[in-house]
Structures are given as C-alpha cells and as structure tokens.
A and B are shown apart, each in its own frame.
Chain A
Amino acid sequence: MKSIRGRITIWMLTGLALLWLAGGTAIYLTSRAAMLAQIDTEIQGLSRQVRAQSRGPGGGRGRRHEDAGPVHSAVFPEHTYYQVWNLDGEVLLRSEELGGQDLPRLDASAELAAFATVELRPGTRVRLAATHFAAGRAGAGGRREGRGQGGMNEPVLVAVARSLEEFEAESRKLAWGLGLIGLLAAAGAWLLLSLALRHGLRPLRQLGEAVATVDASSLDVRFGNTDMPRELRPICARLDGVMDRLQQSFERERRFSADLAHELRTPIAELQVMTELSLKWPEERTEQQIHDIRGIATRMRGVVDTLLQLASLEGEGTESLQDSVVLADLIREAWLPCAGLAAKRDLEVRIEWPEDGSMPGNPELWRHVLGNLLANAAEYATAGGRIIVEAGEHSLRVLNTAEGLHPDQVGRMFERFWRADSSRTGAVHCGLGLSLASACAEAMGLHLTATLRQGPNEAPELVMELGDRGA
C-alpha cells in the first residue's frame, strides 16, 4: 500500500475495530454475567419459597412429598423447575413440569448455595441453584419452625432450575446490538477519518501539485512559506535549496550555451562574410584578408580543442595522475610567453616558488594550469600592479592586483566562457582558460579556488590557489 491516506485509514480502522471488539466483548461478557447473577439471585429466592411452600399447613415430620401439595404456580415463573431431597437423597418434592425427570443434584453446603448451568434436555439449558436448608430453618425470616407449625423440618436440599432461553435471547440481542453499533461506529469513523485526512493532507497535496508544475521556465518557484504546516517546513526548505541550485545550474547552462553560440557563431559569421565579400567583389580581396581568415580559423580551432579537452578531463579519474611534480621549471616555462606583456603593462613580477618545491599531479596538466593562470594574471592584472607566484601550505598561489574586479564576479570565474567583459570582445581569450585550469586541477585530485582580498595599499588582489581538495 503506497498511499499515506490508505495506510493511516487501514491502521486507524483496524485499531478502532480491535478496540471496539475488546470493549464490546467486555461489555457483552459483563452484561451476561450480570444477567446470570440476577437469575441466580432470583432462583435462590425461589429456593426459599419452595422450602417455605413445601412445608405447608400441618406439614412437618412424617409428611411425604406426595402429601405435600405442589408449590403454588403463581410463585414460579414459566420454565422454572424445582426439586427437593432429604439428606438421604430421597426426593421429597418435584415440579410437574420436569415430567418425572430429576434435576441434577449439586453439592451445597449449609453456608453456600451451589450454582451451575446444565443441560436439562437436549436443547434446553437451565441455570440450577441448589440450596441446603438445615432442620428447623425456615425462609429468610429465619424463624424457627416450632410445634404446631407442622411441615418438613428435616434438613433438605432444594434445587431450583430456570430455563436460560430468555437469557440466551437477551444475550443474542445484546451481541447483535453491539455488533450493529460497532459497524455504525466504524462507518462513522471511516467518514470522519476520510475528512480529517483530506483536510490534513491538503498541504501535502498542494505541495505536490506545486512541484509538478515546475519546469525549465519556472525555476523561480519556491515552496517555503509561513502557511506551510510545521511538519512540511523542513521538506520545503530542502526543496527551495534544490530549486536554488537548479536555477543557478540552468542559468549557468543558459549562459554557457549563449556564450558558446557567440564564440562559435561569430567567427563563422566573420569567415562567411569575408569569403562572400571576396567572391562577390574579387577586387576587394587582399592578402591581409587571407591572413585574417586563417587567424579566425586558428582561434576557432583553439576553442574547439579546449572544449574537447574539458570534456575529456571531466571523465578522467585521478588515480593515474598522482605523481609528484617539481614545479619550478614548469613555472618558468609558463611565464616566458607572458613576460613581454607584463613588461609592457609595467607589472611587478615575483616568482617565490622554492626550486625543489613539488606538488602532486601530472606535468602536462600542470603546464595547462600554470599557462592559463599566468597568462590570465599578465593580461588582466591592473597595469602597474603586481603578480606573485608563491607557495602556500601544500598549495601553489598566483596572485595579482585586480582593481575593478567585483566579489560576485569571483564566484563565476571558472564558468566556461565567462569573462569580466560580457561583450566577449577581443580575439585572444574566449573565457575557457580558467575553466580548463580548474578541470586540470580536478583531474589531478586538486582544487582551484579564487578569492579577492585586500593587498598592500588597500588595492584588491585576486588570489588563485591550487591545493588539496580537502584543504
């Protein structure tokens, strides 16, 4: 059963049914016992009347039961039987309705009557009470029978039996009544439960409906609000967190798609227009144009190669890339192409990496990382600022002066095609360098981070740090 409503309903109804069963059974048994006790009290009273009536006028010693008249029928209700024995077991008196059949003789003491439910005949169950009356004892009044009273004064055993037919009928009525009430109660409980569940689960249903409407165009939907029941708030908070991440991810993908489109379509447009111009007006053809076309094609190839490299790095495991690499020579090698630009931009450069300093990884990937980080620093460091390559704690750091860089830009630096200038102007960099550096770092089991901090003279500095993932 995969329905919360169904489970709660079944559990509740089963529980209620069991409770009703237990309660109903208790009520039934208690009622039966009470009814039976009442019958016992009645037949015990009848026993005394039998004893009293059986003495009769002049009754007493020597009077035989055939001499004793029947007990007045007005005393005895229908389907009630009596029999009297002396201590020798001789039947002194017996009701005619018995038809010569004897009632079972129970052992009763002088103090305590005996009761039993017996089957008198097949299909006829009776409640039997046997009371022992001592000699001279009379009815409830306790008056001693004396001379002149006459009657049977010897000790006798009086048995009175009453048919349980009425009792059983009443019990059956009770059982049926309890059963019917139980069914009605169950129906009522089911109805109430349904309403309660419907109302109680409505926020959950509404939440489900709201989640079902979410698609790529409605990622700004959020679910947490003060109207939500307390039990659902943690779920809503989590959902909102997931939606935030999803929205950011979609936004990144959208930006990536737009930027990729621009990076590929613009050079294709350039090539197309330039070649069509040359074909339509051959006199416009120049050698410079041919060089420009080649430059555009080279740039496109660079973009495609970098993208393919990124794709292959993402699938790469790190197990085979964990050698220890001495970085000093690689740093110098990577810096060489940037030195001219740095000098032109009047940048102060300090490479403070120890000669024997090493980091885990792979030389080829380190070349990509260092090449991109240093080229980035040389290109975008504030003119007249500084670039430093130094060792951190189990990490390598490249920092450069970065005036004009906003903290919110730092978080996006490693997105593909991201550039501070959203126009994407310039043929040199397409915004994949830092993505590639980051992917290379991950492939080596390292992690590349970017932070903005205050440098000397309050000038902001961008710090690129490459270290262990756990650091």
Chain B
Amino acid sequence: MKVRRFNPMRVLVVEDSKHLRTAVAKALKRSGYAVDTAADGEEGAWLARESTFDVVVLDIMLPKKDGLEVLDELRRDGIETPVLLLTARNSVDDRVRGLRSGADDYLGKPFELAEFLARVDVLCRRRYGRRSAVVEAGDLRVDTNAKVARRGGQDLDLTAREYALLELLVMQPGRVLSRTRIEEHLYDGRGSRVSNVVDSTVYHLRRKLGPDGREIVRTRRGQGYVFEEARP
C-alpha cells in the first residue's frame, strides 16, 4: 500500500530569496522532508551546527556570510552533512570552486524542481551509504522512492509516520537512534511535537512488522532504538 510521502530526512534550506526559499521548502515538505530554512549565512551556519540535518541546500550569494564561507566553516568543524550548492553562478570555475570547497553537489539556477528533488534524494541516500532506492533487510523490503514497505511479499499497511520511522531505521541498521534524533526527523523545526509520539509510533510499527517486531526494532534502554535485520 502506498503511503503519503513522508520522508524522515531533514533538510536545511539556506537561501536569501524569500520566494525561492519558500517555494523550495514547500516542495520539499510536499515530498515528505522535514524542512528548516534560513535567510542568511550566519543563521544557516548556526542551524547546521545546532541541529542534525541529512542535507543542507545552500545558496552561495548570501547576506552576512556567503555560502562558501558557511561551507568552509562546517567542514572545518567536522560537520559532514551533505551539501547541495544552489546558485546563479554557473560557470565552470564557480562549479569547481564550490565542489572543491567541500560541496557534494552543485545545481545552477534556474533549475527543474524534479531534478532538484532527485538530487536531494540522492544525497540523503548517500548519507547513509545507500546507492539504491530499495533497502532490503532479510525478507523486509523498503522502497524509498515509492515509499512502500513489504515483508514476505506482502505490503505493510503503514501510516506516513510509521513508514518514515521504518525508513529512518532501515537506512541505519545496527545503529542506535535516540528518541530525540527520531523526533527531529519526524518533525521539522517549526512543527509541534507530541511528547510520546516516538514510543507510540514504535509500538504500532512493531505490531505491523509481525510477531518478531520487537526483535526487528529493538529497544536499547536509556539510549534509543536500533534496527536489526528481519529474519524470514
């Protein structure tokens, strides 16, 4: 069963043009991403440090601090979040300079929205070492493009949030994700948070995964949750 797009990935958009910032954020949200925005380089740098993002979309010509300066600072501080540079400067020199500064991708303005969303998607997958849109773990199959999860050949009937949680977990198998981390991915920076939504979502997800749901989505007390490979 297809679910409404709800991408657990969190994206920061740093762009000074209000119209573009708003439109891009809207498009990302409609694609299921949790989105935060910043209108200048200083705010963008601060947000990128303070929160965990899966992708940063960064304009170059920004007020207060330009995009390349922000990128440079993030890399020096050891922040390896994938960065997509978005800019009107489209010459080869500018592209090379941007990529050499530590950007992971470069998209010139104007751009096709579909291409932009696809590039963001690729960067998100790459963040978790995934080249394919389909993640398989045992007999569990998660198609991150179609936003569909199947187990044993059967579609899992998941809500948007349950799917988002499952996708977040299967992208990082064996890695403990804290409740806070999960919350950040399920909500963008300005969304309201319900205190036990993570526990509730985990509970429902386990039930839908099957009798061994607790074995697949394990609890690590005091730490968070971890995804273990589903056995047939």
Contact = CB atoms under 8 A, between A and B. Distances in A.
B61 A422 contact: yes
B113 A265 contact: no
Considering residues A270, A284, A292, A422, which has the most beta carbons from chain B within 10 angstroms of its beta carbon?
A270
B61 A292 contact: no
Contacts of A423: 16, 40, 61-64, 66
B30 A424 contact: no
A216 B7 CA distance: 47
B88 A273 contact: no
B110 interface: yes
Contacts of B40: 423, 425
B23 interface: yes
B26 interface: yes
A265 B113 CA distance: 15
B214 interface: no
Nearest to A292: B19
A274 interface: yes
B85 interface: no
Find the residue from A262, A264, A265, A423 having the highest chain B CB count within 10 A: A423
B223 interface: no
Interface stretch (A38-46, A275-283, A354-362, A388-396): A275-283
Contacts of A269: 17, 20, 88, 109-111
A365 B146 CA distance: 60
Nearest to A261: B88
A309 interface: no
A410 B24 CA distance: 36
Nearest to A280: B113
B112 interface: yes
A421 interface: yes
B61 A268 contact: no
A273 B23 contact: yes
B167 to A, nearest CB: 22
Given A269-B20, A270-B20, A423-B63, A277 B90 contact: no
B112 to A, nearest CB: 7
Interface residues of B, number: 29
A422 B20 CA distance: 18
Is the contact region of chain B dominated by helix, strand, or loop, or is it mixed? loop
A268 B17 CA distance: 12
A336 interface: no
A84 B164 CA distance: 148
Contact of A276 (B16, B88, B108, B113): B113
B111 A258 contact: no
Contacts of A272: 110-113
Contacts of A274: 19, 23
A149 interface: no
Contacts of A270: 17, 19-20, 23
Nearest to A293: B19
A262 B109 CA distance: 9
Contacts of B62: 423, 425
Nearest to B27: A277
Contact of A273 (B61, B89, B113): B113
A424 B61 CA distance: 7
Contacts of B90: 261, 265
Contact of A258 (B17, B18, B26, B89): B89
Contacts of A261: 88-90
Contacts of A281: 26, 30
Contacts of A427: 18
Contacts of B110: 265, 268-269, 271-273
B26 A262 contact: no
Interface in A242-282: 258, 261-262, 264-266, 268-274, 276-277, 280-281
Interface string A305-343: 000000000000000000000000000000000000000
Interface in A387-428: 421-425, 427
Given A276-B113, A421-B63, A423-B61, A262 B19 contact: no
A296 B18 CA distance: 11
Contact of A265 (B39, B109, B114): B109
Nearest to A276: B113
| Residue among A261, A270, A273, A276 with the highest chain B CB neighbour number at 10 A | A273
Interface string B67-106: 0000000000000000000001110001000000000000
A424 B17 CA distance: 9
Contact of B17 (A266, A277, A280, A421): A266
Contacts of B113: 272-273, 276-277, 280
B196 to A, nearest CB: 31
Nearest to A270: B19
A266 B109 contact: yes
A144 to B, nearest CB: 117
Q: 6 tightest CB-CB pairs across the interface, nearest first?
A: A269-B109, A423-B63, A265-B88, A269-B110, A276-B113, A262-B88
Interface of A: 258, 261-262, 264-266, 268-274, 276-277, 280-281, 284, 292, 296, 421-425, 427
Interface of B: 16-20, 23-24, 26-27, 30, 39-40, 61-64, 66, 88-90, 94, 108-114, 116
Given A273-B110, A422-B66, 13 more contacts: A258-B94, A261-B89, A262-B61, A265-B90, A269-B109, A270-B23, A272-B111, A272-B112, A273-B23, A274-B19, A276-B113, A277-B113, A284-B30
